[in-house]
Amino acid sequence: MKFGHFDDVNREYVIETPRTPYPWINYLGNEKFFSLISNTAGGYAFYTDARLRRLTRYRYNDVPLDNNGRYFFINDNGTVWNPGWKPMRVELDSYECRHGFGYSKIASSKNGVKADILYMIPNGDNAEIQKVTLTNTTSQKKDIALHSYIEWCLYNAHDDNTNFQRNFSIGEVEVLGSTIYHKTEYRERRNHFAFYHVNSKIDGFETDRETFLGLHNNYDHPDAVFADKSTNFVADGWSPVASHRINVSLNAGESKTFIFVLGYIENDNDKKWAAQAEQGLLQTNSAMRVINKDKAIALQNKYDTVEKVEKAFNTLKDFWTDMVGKYTLKTGDEKLDRMAVWNQYQCVVTYNFARSASYFESGIGRGIGFRDTSQDMLGVVHSMPQSRVRERLFDVASTQFEDGSAYHQFQPLTKRGNADVGSNFNDDPLWLILGVGGYIKETGDEQFLKEMVPFDNNEKNKATLYEHLKRSFRYITTHIGPHGLPLIGRADWNDCLNLNCFSTDPNDSFQTSTNKDGKNAESVMIAQMFVYVAPDYAAMCRMMGDEAEAKFAEEQAAQMAEQICKTGWDGDWYIRAYDDFGKKIGSKECEDGKIFIETQGFGSMAQIGADKGYPAKALDSVEKHLDTKYGIVILDPPYKDYHIELGEVSSYPPGYKENAGIFCHNNPWVIIGEVKTGRSAKAWEHYKKIAPSFLEDISEIHRLEPYVYAQMIAGKAARRHGEAKNSWLTGTAAWNFVALSQWICGVRPEYEGLRIEPRLPAHIKNAEITRKYRGVTYKIDITNNNPEGKVVLTSDSASVTGTLALAKDGTKEVSIKAVIG
């Protein structure tokens, strides 16, 4: 069943009912000011860091779901309704929500009043703009009231959720004209504040939640909206909110537009305060000093007309056209073509937010993951401005320790490693090599390797980025266990394979408790990753003129591959790991968890034991044991019991998360492995099962947004097989884009040029790809006669060597014909 449709021309997903199977959300903002917005206008705004600088309050896990957002209430002679349906859930005469790139639109109507709302965050400003147009579609004059509503968060979202003995006494606001200022904690160490403004005269306001709702009311009966009069009460502690009331008279057929601005301002310390209170200013205590509002007023004025907002909206649309226009795909398979567009959008959002703030990540739990962001890089390196990607890689590398290990996470606001989570996830160092390699392949910016980068953010202890990579590589070669394989530490990519945790205490965190010395448990996956990234590392060594290190890397990789064949192969598939007792994990010998996807994916991507046919055998085993109609499960059979020697992986009920859920993150490893093994038809079968646009028709089963990937779909052992959870912020986005663009479509950046080896499915006979690469637009015209056939490239404007193409000097646009088979 569908709940909407794709509007491919406008690049929007159009949701046709507010009753989606779960809130279907979108993200606004792509610099410093961000918002999450659901199809019923729920969500929240924050500045840079969803934990430390949250501006509006949201209640996770609320009942019903998705309460609190930026709400408008319309009181039409006693009938009160919300254009976004929530929170009142009054039946609407019409409803539509369009999620576009960086904006959302809600349009609905009730009793002859139509509301059209555009929500967006313009580039370059710290503000969410809400353009609200009300139209009277009847033939009679209408007098209605429009009420806005947001609830302020007291900045630190964690404290805001927990420290009520303090919170209920610190809320402060100022009201000046049509603007409500969130002044909480400004008197002390904060030099920032937020405001909510509307570009018209108001007829009243509310700033206190209890006054707005009524002490015993829910959001479905806000007293202030039902009353004919505002209290104009200035909040004094408790929960400060911002609500404007505008009386709107609409003649038959008339429309009026109001522009609301939710803004964030920072003042220098010596400019925090105004010389004197403005005339008409309201605050609880007239003796208090008053916010210097110069910057706020300038920001309000910047968006005070429809024309100005329209202009910013067009700029935003152009920005996104450019962003996702660096890679375009036309195959005639509409589901596939739209994935190329939406997958890129998800990659940018994931890159911006890491794993911090979604409808499954509370924004207070996690900063930016070392491993996560290094992978996210792969999905945006072609589309994002080079400087931003470079900066993030620099920040990530700065949280590495001298010995090559790394903080597992860092906070985006401070850019410091997160000491609470610490280090010792032994795969982390290798992802840095993958990320930097991906960046240089795309940009050719070899100079980056020479940049001085601190260890552990210590400015006094720096080394070249190249040296950081060397430490990464060496970390693996110096941490080898009894079977000649890398030690796993707390975990590898699978955060739940906690082989040194040995926890019996439910109060322990699986991720941060270590009760074994870590000298035994080994990861086959890290070994495979090592082999996989070694060619990149060797290439970068050569760029630095370090032939000896390049040779060393190649030798080490060859030895590791051999070792995997000896101690990491189980006969029909690659083993997953060895536990602390030296027992195999992911082997026929195991009762549960006999086979894992990760090592079949990475093993086939790295083509380990190819001369013995291992990749093909491993992939056949995936099909036999792990594949389902909704995608490939992470392991099988699921663990029935908790295993102290395995940790969190065995903590989940069968079929969920790392215990046999379908991880959309490592399905693409299998897809890539299939292409590399020359079986692209199988790659396509796997791709279709998890790509969200292909799942639109089963939205009642899948439940999450059909325009973005979710991290996990419940596996075959789960009661709700096929149901997804954790949409948006997942490495799934980047890896599926890599699988699609670089392997199925076969256009991949390499150090020397663009490799073009399309392996499209047989039903696609012709395709067109445009790909911007190092400042040149490559137009690739594909004729697909036989998907596994020989690729022949011809071009007048590029030099072609086999399947590698590079624009001739001075050429800005290149046309290439690729004939397959």
Answer for which of 511, 514, 587, 680 binds ligand BGC (CB under 6 A) is 511
Candidates 292, 242, 252; CA nearest to 272 is 292
Choose the binding region for ligand NOJ from 232-240, 493-501, 669-677, 716-724 (rule: CB under 6 A).
493-501
CA–CA distances in Å: residue 452 to residues 458, 468, 536: 12, 10, 20
Q: If binding means CB under 6 A, how many residues of this protein chain bind ligand BGC?
A: 6
The answer to whether 416 touches 358, Cβ cutoff 8 Å, is no
495 vs 636, beta carbon nearer ligand BGC: 495
| C-alpha Rg value of the chain to the nearest Å | 28
The answer to whether 98 touches 215, Cβ cutoff 8 Å, is no
3-state secondary structure labels for all residues of 692-703: HHHHHHHHHHHC
496 touches ligand NOJ (CB under 6 A): yes
Please report, as a single letter, which amino acid is at residue 410: F
Binding partner of residue 594 among ligand BGC, ligand NOJ, none, CB cut-off 5 to 8 Å per kind: none
Least Å from the CB of residue 410 to ligand NOJ: 14
d(CA 194, CA 201): 20
205 vs 669, beta carbon nearer ligand NOJ: 669
Binding mask 205-244 for ligand BGC (x = CB under 6 A): ----------------------------------------
Nearest 5°: the CA angle 123, 129, 134 is 140
206 vs 372, beta carbon nearer ligand NOJ: 372
Catalytic residue among 495, 536, 579, 627: 495
Binding mask 588-627 for ligand NOJ (x = CB under 6 A): ----------------------------------------
Binding partner of residue 561 among ligand NOJ, ligand BGC, none, CB cut-off 5 to 8 Å per kind: none
d(CA 358, CA 364): 11
CB-count burial class (<10 Å; 0-12, 13-18, 19+) for 422: middle
d(CA 751, CA 444): 7
d(CA 196, CA 182): 8
494 touches ligand NOJ (CB under 6 A): yes
d(CA 756, CA 751): 13
Least Å from the CB of residue 669 to ligand NOJ: 12
267 vs 346, beta carbon nearer ligand NOJ: 346
Please report, as a single letter, which amino acid is at residue 51: R
Q: If binding means CB under 6 A, how many residues of this protein chain bind ligand NOJ?
A: 9
Binding partner of residue 584 among ligand NOJ, ligand BGC, none, CB cut-off 5 to 8 Å per kind: none
DSSP string for residues in 664-704: TTTHHHHHHHHHHTT-HHHHHHHHHHH-GGGGGGGHHHH-S
Least Å from the CB of residue 354 to ligand BGC: 12
Binding partner of residue 475 among ligand BGC, ligand NOJ, none, CB cut-off 5 to 8 Å per kind: none
131 touches ligand BGC (CB under 6 A): no
DSSP string for residues in 611-656: GGTHHHHHHHHIIIIIEETTEE-SEESPP-S--TTTGGGGTSPTTB
495 vs 696, beta carbon nearer ligand BGC: 495
Binding partner of residue 372 among ligand BGC, ligand NOJ, none, CB cut-off 5 to 8 Å per kind: ligand NOJ
- Dihedral, CA of residue 48, residue 52, residue 55 and residue 60, to nearest 10: 110
Least Å from the CB of residue 495 to ligand NOJ: 4
Least Å from the CB of residue 375 to ligand NOJ: 8
| 570 counts as catalytic | no
Nearest 5°: the CA angle 67, 726, 1 is 80
194 vs 664, beta carbon nearer ligand NOJ: 664
d(CA 392, CA 431): 13
Binding partner of residue 493 among ligand BGC, ligand NOJ, none, CB cut-off 5 to 8 Å per kind: ligand NOJ
Please report, as a single letter, which amino acid is at residue 499: L
74 touches ligand NOJ (CB under 6 A): no
Least Å from the CB of residue 10 to ligand NOJ: 32
376 touches ligand BGC (CB under 6 A): no
Residue 396, token pair as written in the block: 């990530």
d(CA 83, CA 149): 13
Nearest 5°: the CA angle 273, 276, 278 is 105
658 touches ligand NOJ (CB under 6 A): yes
- Write down the H helix ranges in 270-413: 294-302, 306-324, 334-353, 370-380, 386-397
Answer for which of 657, 682, 702, 716 binds ligand BGC (CB under 6 A) is 657
Query: Of all residues in this chain, which one has the CB nearest to ligand BGC in the complex?
Result: 495
160 touches ligand BGC (CB under 6 A): no
Choose the binding region for ligand NOJ from 46-54, 391-399, 488-496, 689-697 (rule: CB under 6 A).
488-496
Binding mask 489-508 for ligand BGC (x = CB under 6 A): ------xx------------
Considering only residues 326-365, where is the footprint of ligand NOJ by CB under 6 A?
355
514 touches ligand BGC (CB under 6 A): no
* Number of residues written out for the chain: 821
Binding partner of residue 511 among ligand BGC, ligand NOJ, none, CB cut-off 5 to 8 Å per kind: ligand BGC
CA–CA distances in Å: residue 274 to residues 182, 235, 281, 288, 292: 15, 21, 12, 11, 4
598 touches ligand BGC (CB under 6 A): no
Choose the binding region for ligand NOJ from 27-35, 246-254, 369-377, 749-757 (rule: CB under 6 A).
369-377
The answer to whether 572 touches 618, Cβ cutoff 8 Å, is yes
Applying CB under 6 A, the residues found at the interface with ligand NOJ are: 355, 369, 371-372, 493-496, 658
Q: Which residues are catalytic?
A: 495
Applying CB under 6 A, the residues found at the interface with ligand BGC are: 495-496, 511, 648, 657-658
